[in-house]
Homo-oligomer: A and B are copies of this chain.
């Protein structure tokens, strides 16, 4: 597939100059996990940024600089001229470059939900000026960028390639802990923010609907980020690349989980085997067994499975990967029920504490949480399943769960499941846990705790992926 220059392609020279001079006005639509870092780095590199979000609480936290995320320290140093959030699309008038970072979840059948993106496109479309650049960052099905152009056209009559530039550049953000060292980059001065995986150091892929769209998008990302920006021949290539990256992870974690099943039955420690295989660095990439959740990995695999169905491809491998990874919930629930039974504890009325609802340690994103599934499964047996996540509780005002504080959560518990390896949980000592709980049952779904120490404190420990004596 090769891009085709439109005869009516909007002139891009003026915008290119404005981007180079940091005079182009930037708008980021959607200020969630993906949009907020982009807006922050765009502003820090010198652009005047307006961020649009439908959540007034989020907008307020961003404007008063109290929002908690990896780059809070950079955001705090930005003035309102460079970075201001709003709930009103009319505040985006005069924007030269629009970045859409809108959630695209899946429904209960694994089908992509484009309603949020459609609403955002319709709200913003009237404000897209002639010659402006529009970039989509949300993870999507293949072909969504062209669908998105159709939404804008239907809403405003503006045609991508004729009236404005359009490109797809998938986000590549791996959220982590807030760090004060990130405060070192302000207004275009690019310095190392703490390692190669910092937001601005991760390479990006850009596919425009025509050559000038690709060139403009590549240029503006080169101004905002310090990483290599790789142009590709079409938006579909960039869309597929994003799916391939995330499905690669899903499938390889599934492979580690399938090994954990087999090796567990054979009494071999999967973590040691992964470590040994990793010595073949040129042809192996380590993935650990474990629970898989969050808004990326499981979701992107379903996007492609559902899209492939519509063109008659079965995707047996991807389906198997999803089944294996979802199945880890069954293993964790099964190990917990087995342990309770072995201790002679009646399931109805037993208290089981699940530590962590976020999809990974030290983040507060609790979407598509395997912990919620574990709780549901336990509650169906009459068990009092208690969810505890201090990171989510402190920073995620949209959480749908009732989260109990750690001391109360573990008090008189009959079993404790570690589902997310937050620092707060890694720091729990076997002695203090032993004092709080009623029964000493520990199920470590993350291989994050010192099992020997917990066994020495009298705990029956089961750890996914570890041999029984591990």
* Chain A residues with a Cβ under 8 A of chain B: 1, 142-143, 172, 174, 196-197, 202-205, 228, 230, 232-234, 236-238, 240-242, 244-245, 247-249, 251-252, 254-255, 258-259, 261-263, 265-269, 272-274, 276-277, 279-285, 304, 307-308, 311-313, 315-321, 323-324, 467, 469
Contacts and interface: CB of A to CB of B under 8 A. Distances in A.
B1 A265 contact: no
A172 B280 CA distance: 8
B283 A249 contact: yes
A237 B196 contact: no
Contacts of A249: 283
Contacts of A269: 1, 237
A241 B276 contact: yes
* A265, A307, A317, most chain B CB atoms within 10 A: A317
Which of A203, A230, A281, A313 has most chain B Cβ within 10 Å?
A313
Contact of A318 (B204, B258, B281): B258
Contacts of A321: 317
Given A1-B467, A273-B240, A252 B248 contact: yes
Contact of A469 (B1, B142, B315): B1
Nearest to A281: B203
A251 B67 CA distance: 41
Nearest to A280: B245
B283 A259 contact: no
Given A240-B273, A268-B237, A262 B308 contact: yes
A320 B233 CA distance: 31
A261 to B, nearest CB: 5
Given A244-B259, A311-B265, A230 B317 contact: no
A6 B274 CA distance: 27
B265 A230 contact: no
A274 to B, nearest CB: 7
Contacts of A259: 240, 244
Nearest to A142: B266
Given A249-B283, A273-B240, A277-B248, A262 B324 contact: no
A279 B169 CA distance: 13
A266 B146 CA distance: 14
User: In this complex, which of A174, A277, A304 has the most chain B Cβ atoms within 10 angstroms of its Cβ?
Assistant: A277
Contacts of A255: 247-248, 251, 317-318
A318 B254 CA distance: 10
A312 to B, nearest CB: 7
Given A142-B266, A279-B203, A469-B1, A245 B317 contact: no
A240 B143 CA distance: 41
B1 A258 contact: no
Contacts of A1: 267-269, 272, 467, 469
12 contacts: A1-B267, A1-B268, A1-B469, A202-B280, A237-B269, A240-B259, A244-B259, A244-B284, A255-B317, A262-B313, A316-B324, A319-B320
Contacts of A277: 205, 241-242, 244-245, 248
B205 A268 contact: no
Contacts of A317: 251, 254-255, 258, 317, 320-321, 324
